[in-house]
Chains A and B, each alone.
Chain A
Amino acid sequence: MCDKIYRKGPFSFSTLFVAVSLLFVLLSSSYAEVKRVTIMIKGMACPFCAYGVEKKLKRVKGVKGIDIDIQKGMARLTAEEGQSIEISQVPGAIEDAGFTPDRITATVTGRIERNEKGNLILKSREGQRTFNLTGDRKLIEGYIGSDVAVTGEVIVQKEKPWTINVERVEKK
């Protein structure tokens, strides 16, 4: 009965399923994904205290690897395979651990586009997160429409899209 219904259209159910899956994979690869994050942490002075930082950062969505450097006062995060680090949760995790989050740098993959105002953006996953791009405009414009990995300082702004001050762009 079901087979009959699905066979009424020009494509079979299995063909449609494969086509949708392929489209999803292709689109996913072009969405912005936060692959690596480095955050400077003010006030962290001992390894015993840093354990609290590790515990809180482990709860950030998409985080797999955590490398804490006490002497430099920073934590480096790497994303799980095929996942994106939920960067908005990172400063809060540091605050909950009892320290002050400082400069955040990140490597984000995605597609560089122009928005309706003509500003350069890195398109986010399903449009949920958009990063504004600043820095060397000529460098960024050279990659419009391309899937890239952008590295730079993330400027956090409340109730506004976050901005990446682009330091490096690599074509994927």
Chain B
Amino acid sequence: MKTELFNRVLPFLLSVLLILIFAINSYAHEPIFGLGPHVIYKGGTGIEVEFEGERASGAGETENQYSLHSEIMYGLTPDLALTLAIPYILKKKIESERGEKTSSGVGDISLRLKYRFWRHDSPGIQDSAAVITGIKLPTGDDDKTPGLGTGSTDFFIGLAVARESLKWYYFGDVRYRINTRGSDDLRKGNVLFTDLSIGVRPWPTEYLKPDLVVLLEMNWELIMKDHLGGTEVDDSGGNRLFLSPCFFFTYRNLALKGGVQIPVYQNMYGHQPEDDYRFSLSVEVHY
């Protein structure tokens, strides 16, 4: 019971505490599952706390995972931001004919640098583009079963563009994750992410008034084959496409945002579980 309390309640309370401690600023409107070019303003510090869940089944097993992600962002300049992302896996469970295995703890911490290299402002409209680069560190315990991290230091680069207006939002991004060799001599396949989003504000808004934006995202993932000891793993790789209805509700300095990723197409090679759904719900406060 004590362990349960430590693993689940404490991380949540710590995250809430972090929100209260840090001065938080808006990341503005961004896709929930994709990536946008927004950066925090110069000297701004922000935190976002996100509750994520996902379920995958098939190939004789079912995987469930619930995690709490805390992101701390700092605006080095009006166009350059540094983000530290700390995931805490509340529960990772794999069920199969051989039994059930559960683990929890800190996942792989990542550090991202986003540079908005282009911005064009006109009345009520902002067009922008940013490059993103990052590193994921092997901080998650990969000795646990199931493992909480890949045991590898991975890198990623990406490009995000957006048009935001008083009524419509458009986002697009391409990201590529380069995985290196991790635990047990396994190198997970590199992943190409492509996201397109469209959003609309159904009702005109004003400052200090509640504001709702609904988004529809399309997320495509192309996963390359894993390599074990230099040999290609048959049951790995594939591609999948999600359709993701999302929302972004704000009231002054408080934001509630979330969405569900529904797989509409999956082609995973060999025998692999396929995604059933993923969801995300996050709170953002700034003051």
Contacts and interface: CB of A to CB of B under 8 A. Distances in A.
B125 A48 contact: no
Contacts of A73: 123-124
A96 interface: yes
Interface in B237-253: 250, 252-253
Contact of B205 (A40, A42, A70, A99): A70
A102 B122 CA distance: 10
A46 B28 contact: yes
B226 interface: no
Interface of A: 40, 42-52, 54-56, 68-71, 73, 95-100, 102
A52 B44 contact: yes
Contacts of A55: 25
11 contacts: A47-B252, A48-B253, A49-B26, A50-B207, A51-B26, A52-B25, A54-B207, A73-B124, A96-B42, A96-B78, A100-B121
B205 A47 contact: yes
Interface of B: 25-26, 28-29, 39, 41-44, 78-79, 119, 121-126, 164-166, 201, 204-209, 211, 213, 250, 252-253, 255, 286
Given A52-B44, A69-B207, A43 B122 contact: yes
Contacts of B255: 48
B122 A70 contact: no
Contact of A51 (B125, B201, B253): B253
Contacts of B125: 43, 45
Contacts of A54: 207
Main secondary structure of the interface of B (DSSP, over half): loop
A153 B47 CA distance: 39
B209 to A, nearest CB: 7
A71 B252 contact: no
B207 A96 contact: no
Contacts of B164: 45-46
A48 B28 contact: yes
Contacts of A50: 207
Nearest to A40: B123
Contacts of A51: 25-26, 252-253, 286
Nearest to B116: A98
Nearest to B42: A96
B126 A99 contact: yes
Contacts of B29: 46, 48-49
B127 to A, nearest CB: 9
B39 A45 contact: no
9 interchain residue pairs of minimum CB distance: A43-B121, A42-B121, A43-B126, A100-B121, A68-B207, A48-B250, A96-B42, A47-B207, A49-B28
